[in-house]
Each structure stands twice: as structure tokens, then as C-alpha cells.
Chain A
Amino acid sequence: MNDLLSIRGLETVFDTKRGTVKALRSLDLDIHKGETLALVGESGSGKSTLGLSIMRLIESPGRIAEGSIILHATEDVDVTSLKGGKLRRFRWKKVAMVFQSAMNVLNPVMRIEDQFIDALEAHDIDKSEISGRIDHYLKLAGLGPKVRRLYPHELSGGMRQRVNIALALSCEPDLLIADEPTTALDVVVQKEILKSLNTLKKQLGLTIIFITHDISVAASVADRMAIFYAGRIVEIGPKEEVINRPRHPYSKALLSSIITLNTKRGQDLISLKGNPPDLITPIEGCSFHNRCPSARPECLKYKPVESLVSSDHYVECLYPIGE
């Protein structure tokens, strides 16, 4: 097996006053070693919830209700059953994360270097090694050693996100989850950060899960792409396949929303009407049927199952495009 992580039947739910929201509905996913997998979808589709579930950062009123997240390390570990010290040592050492809110994830009253030191010390990195490591990873992320003595508020948004990347890499994790790492930044900085991430991935042979709502950003970083809708992956496959030959009507709609610049006059622009389904009440049939431009009566009755449409390209639709 060349997989780093295998997720089976994962259900992450949030208990609210109105009822239990199923943010992830029996989700299956394999992450290959060394790949960049982009998770794409609208807000509320469950892609961020998946990232937080892997990190075990889902907190009350949320919980992982069912399923397993198996990490294939020297021996297989089910992340969902980790507790106490084992959970602590898993976080950041095995899987690290770059969060969206670059501004707020750094402790405002601690110097940058101290925020490295406590993470490195928590994972038993030799004291003599710590200082060198901080400089090394700051440099990799494109920052000089001067940053070490500064406080977060003295850095720009882009610099803070670079610090966060360096911080996430500092314990040399097997998997890096980047949750909308560039969304809060302006376009120029966004491009630079994406470039750094790509370079780092090649240099260090990282495995990356890249979460984004922006399919063009996903296209620029990913090897594979997974399209999220209403708590499930509706299409997954190699980037070129998904972009050039989308098989799910939802993927097609998402893609058409970004190619406006190259769209010829008269060409159909599919715009989606309606809202994603309410995740409290059980969904009957296909979750996308109410917005699908090519829905048929059967879509209301039968749940689509995942089917292989071409090499490594799966889609969850009763009538995939092009068949």
C-alpha cells in the first residue's frame, strides 16, 4: 500500500438546538504518500470539518460519531481512538496544520521563537538542535532569523502565514493539512505563498491536504482533487481529469464559475440555483438533485454510489456527464 492515511465511514456531527447536523456523511478517502490532494467545495460542504477531524480538533458541540482514520506509520494507528499523551504526540509530529486565520493563530503575547520552542520541546526535540531548526525552517519559508525576536503584531499577514508554515514544518510531520492558507491574504502574497508551498513539497517530499473553496487555487497546487458537496466527496480524481473532463454536474458547475475570462460569447454558463440541503434531516436520493441541471426522476429516489469512470477517477452520480 502506498497510502499514508485511510479514512473509512467517517461521520462528524454537530449537536445543535435544532438537531444533529451531519457535517460529514460516511466519508471514505485514501491519501497517497507524497501527493497534494486538494479538497474543494463551498463553505459548509464539510472540507474543513474533515481537516479538523484528522487533527482531532473537533470540539463540543461537535464530535466524531462514527468511522475510522487510519494512519499508516510503522504500525497502523486509528487516529479517532487516540487519547492523552498519545494524541499529543500525534498532533504536529505526524500531522501538522496551517490554518486560514494567519492573523489569529499566533499567541499575541509570545515572541515568534518561543512559539517554535514550546512546540519543539513538546515533541522532545533535542535542546541543542532547536535553535538551528527554527532558523532552518524560517529560511525555507522565506523568512530571515530576525523574525524570531518579534511579536506577531509586528509582522504582515503574509509573513505571519510564512511563520505558520515554518511552524507546521518544524516537527517534520508526515502530513501537512493546509486549510485555506491563502484565503485571508491579498492576491500577490497569495501567489508567493502557493509557490513556496509547491517548492517545499518537492524539497521535503511532503504529503499535503490542501483545503480551498477556490478551484483555480486548487488547480495550481494539486496532484489530485476531491470535490465536496453536502458532507461527501462527489468526485475525486487526478487534477487534469477533473478539470478537463468533470463527470459530476456539480464539479462542472464549479469549474464553469471560474473560466469566465476565456468563455466565448453565447457559451452556456451554468449558474447554480438554490441552496445545499439541510444536513439535519436525512437526505433522500442524490443530495444534489434539487440544484442539478440534468436531474432525472430517479435521482430523487436512489442514492448514487461511487463508480470508477476512468483510471483513478471516481464519481458519485447516477448519470455522470458524458455517458
Chain B
Amino acid sequence: MIGNYQNETEIKKKGGLVGSENLLVSLFRNKKSRAGLIVFVIFAFIGIVGPFLAPYSASYTGGANFQPPTNAHLLGTDYIGHDVLSWFLVGTGVSLYVGLTVALISVAIGSIVGLASGYYGGIVDSALMRVVDILLILPGFPLLVILSAYLPPTNTTTILILAILSWPFMSRVIRSQVLTLKERPFIKAAVLSGMSGSKIIFKEIFKHVMPLIAINTVYLMVAAIVAQAGLAFFGLGDLNSVNWGTSLYWAQTEDAVIYNAWWWIVPPGISIAVLGIAANLFGSGLTEVSGEKAGEI
């Protein structure tokens, strides 16, 4: 803004660099990111202890078909008498596992490529980015379907395919952030002081890219959970696995709608939506927190 008063005063602010431990503390202090974190913790808890809490085993088929919620089956039963609650408790962990693994793999590859490409520039950058550009133009969904159609239907395959398709985007995001950081005085100073390239990347740049990586890990995790559910819904991937996606697949193929079996359809979808909202809350909280800090650098 032209001659804006706040801008003029901002220049005068001074301050140290942000340590990652401060970031965690501020994340808890911010209302939005705290709400997001709490939701994640609850789901992680269900994911880990869910199988032990489940009143029935996932293979139990003793209930009546399409039975609405009762005391014996708190979330009713499905088309062959599975206990829906038990399926949900067991499936949460699997869905979260798939989402988290995909996010971690693609964030790891994306960060390495993005950091190297952004920091070193030149031929490394051109070569990597041409590959990334082509992968980004290729529409993801059809590619996802055809790869899953040909490769063996296991959760590991799904994870690998999703990771391969997600890292290019991640590397683009990291790269552009590194390019801006490179122009900042403290990086220039580090270069002039003769610090080695890898040391600058890991000590200085990485610290400042961290918030961005955290946001995108969370977004990618939710996106991967949705994508896995979508693939399962398409009849792809491991249909014997118990997770949110396969629940919806069977609900669709076995006409849950016609039987008005809302108790079977609602839990997985609501969970995905709640995770999505939590990710958004966490993201905007993190932006607020790290944005404030960024102003002080």
C-alpha cells in the first residue's frame, strides 16, 4: 500500500528468527490451529485404539441385515450383518494410515526436489522443473484410475500411486518459497559468510519452509484419504481392506440408499468432512501464527 502508515512502522520492527519450538507453542495458543490439532488428536486416538474398542470383529456377520441403530449395534448393521460401528472403528486407522503415509512420502520427495531445485537453480532446476511441469499437466484422476486398474490391488500400491502423483505439486510450492527466501538478507549473509550450501539449506532455509511443509502435509493427508476413498468407491484398490472408502463402496454397490441405511453412509463421509475442516482450521491458524512471525524477520 502506498505510504501506508502501518507499513512504515513495520520496517522498524526488529526481532530474532523463529525457532520451531516457539511455533508449536504458538500453534497451541491460536484458537483455529488448536481446534484443528484437537480434531487430529481425537482421530489419531480412534485410529490407534479403535480396533481394541470395537464391540465386534470386522468379520462378524451375526447381525440382521440393514438393521437401524440399536443398543446391540449402536450404528446399526450393513447388508450382510456387519456391525457398522466396529467397521468404522477398525477402518479409521487404515484410512489415516494410508493418508499419512502418502503425505509423508510425497512431502519428503517434494521437499528434497523443491529445496534442491530452488536453492541450486541452473540445470538442476530446469531439468527437475520440466519433469514436474509435465507431471502437473497430466490430469491426476484418470492416471490414478488406470494405474490402479493395472497394478495389484493392495493398500501399498494405492499409497505408492498417490504419493507419485502428489509430490510434483509439493516441490513446486517449496521451490517458490525457497526462491523468495534466497533474496532475504539473512540467507545472503549466510552465503557471504562462506557457509556450505547443504548447511544453509538445512539450518537456515529449512527452518523457514517448515510452516509451509506442515500445512501441506496436513492438506495432502486429507486429500489422500479422500482419493483413497474415491478409488475404493470406483472398485479399485484393496476391496478386502476395511476402511472408510470400502465402507462407502459396499454401501453404494449394495444399495444402502434404497434401504434408507443412513447409519451406514453417514459416519465415513462426516469423518472425511470434519478432517477437511480441521485441516483448513489448522492451515489458517498456522498462516496467522507464522505470518506474524514472518513480519518480524
Contacts and interface: CB of A to CB of B under 8 A. Distances in A.
B2 A23 contact: no
B203 interface: no
A21 interface: yes
A16 B3 contact: no
B2 A43 contact: no
Interface in A8-55: 14, 16, 21, 23, 43-44, 48-49, 51-52
Contact of A49 (B3, B11, B12): B3
A16 B6 CA distance: 9
Contact of A100 (B3, B6, B11, B12): B3
A44 B9 contact: yes
A62 interface: yes
A202 to B, nearest CB: 27
A52 B11 contact: no
B104 to A, nearest CB: 38
List the 5 closest A-B pairs by CB distance, nearest first. Answer: A48-B3, A43-B8, A44-B8, A23-B5, A14-B5
A43 B6 contact: no
B12 A99 contact: no
A13 B169 CA distance: 44
Given A43-B11, A43-B12, A44-B12, A62 B5 contact: yes
B12 A48 contact: no
B139 to A, nearest CB: 29
Contact of A105 (B2, B5, B12): B2
A101 interface: yes
B11 to A, nearest CB: 6
Contacts of B12: 43-44, 275
Interface string B1-33: 011011011011000000000000000000000
Majority secondary structure, B binding face: helix
Interface string A160-176: 00000000000000000
A179 interface: yes
A99 B2 CA distance: 7
Nearest to A275: B12
Interface of A: 14, 16, 21, 23, 43-44, 48-49, 51-52, 57, 62, 99-101, 105, 179-180, 275
B5 A179 contact: no
A19 to B, nearest CB: 13
Given A48-B8, A100-B2, 12 more contacts: A14-B6, A44-B8, A44-B9, A48-B2, A49-B5, A52-B2, A57-B2, A62-B5, A179-B2, A179-B3, A180-B3, A275-B12
A62 B3 CA distance: 12
Contact of B3 (A21, A51, A275): A51
B118 to A, nearest CB: 24
A100 B4 CA distance: 11
27 contacts: A14-B5, A14-B6, A16-B6, A23-B5, A43-B8, A43-B9, A43-B11, A43-B12, A44-B5, A44-B9, A48-B3, A48-B5, A48-B8, A49-B3, A49-B5, A51-B3, A52-B2, A52-B3, A57-B2, A62-B5, A99-B2, A99-B3, A100-B2, A101-B2, A105-B2, A179-B3, A275-B12
B42 to A, nearest CB: 32
A14 B12 CA distance: 18
A57 to B, nearest CB: 8
A99 B1 CA distance: 11
B9 to A, nearest CB: 5
Nearest to B1: A59
Given A43-B12, A44-B12, A275-B12, A21 B2 contact: no
